[in-house]
Amino acid sequence: MGALETGKYVSLLVEGRGNVIRRAWDTLEGLPGGKRLFSEFVGRAATYTGTIGAVVIELRQGFARVEMRDRAGVRNHLSCVHAIALANLAELTGNIAMGYSLPDDARFIVAGLSIEYLKKARGTITGECHAPIVSRSTREEYPVEVVMRDVAGDVVARATLRTLVGPKRAP
């Protein structure tokens, strides 16, 4: 996919009519393969995010759960999930939780990210986010917290995204 085509996807997600993330999830989620298709849509819109191959498992107002399989492409030299793959999972999880919950006339961008790595991450990692529910598109910054756990339920990392919400551009 070329840069121009990728730009169209990102523009659709950020500036599209209504809440494109919510509409896409609500349409695809119940269909066979719909969660994977939604995840691929998001991965195409944000191509770097797509490199971790994560799948959105659950998405609703103020909440997201996303899984990332442990595989060679996300591992480091210590045979555990790379720190940046975890940061990527945190951003994806927080962004879709926040994006799903925004009013139709709002958009967002991550203005900062902090992350704590608490233990080596191995196996499938699940990111969970309880995002603030934003009711208006006025310019404001929100902390969006994401917790990442391994299959045993142990917390491997915690992240906070500083997310700036504002109105969409006028058409």
Q: What is the CATH number of the domain that holds 85?
A: 3.10.129.10
Q: How many C-beta atoms surround the C-beta of residue 136 within 10 A? A: 11
pLDDT for the residue numbered 10: 47
pLDDT of residue 18: 82
Of the candidate ranges 5-14, 64-73, 105-114, 150-159, the one whose mean pLDDT is the lowest: 5-14
Which residue's entry shows tokens 């339920």? 153
DSSP bridge pairs for 165 = 108, 140
For residue range 24-59, what is the model confidence (pLDDT) as tens digits? 999 999 999 999 999 999 988 888 888 899 999 999
Instruction: Tell me the mean pLDDT in the region 77-87.
Output: 91
Report the pLDDT value the prediction gives residue 122, as an integer from 0 to 100. 94
* Residue-range definition of the domain harbouring residue 27: 3-167
Distances (CA, A) of 49 to 87, 132, 169: 10, 22, 24
Q: Which of 61, 111, 117 is nearest to 89 (CA)?
A: 117
125's tokens: 């990692």
How many domains does the chain fold into? 1
The pLDDT value recorded for residue 45 is: 86
- Dist. CA 59–CA 39, nearest whole Å: 11
- Residue 56's pLDDT is 97
Unique residue bearing structure tokens 């480091």: 76
pLDDT band at 171 (very low <50, low <70, confident <90, very high): low
Question: Could you give the maximum distance between any two Cα atoms of the chain, in Å?
Answer: 49
Does 4 have pLDDT greater than 60?
no
Whether residue 114 has pLDDT greater than 80: yes
pLDDT the model gives residue 1: 43
Model confidence at 73: pLDDT above 90 = no
pLDDT digits (tens, 9 = 90+) for 140-151: 999 999 999 999
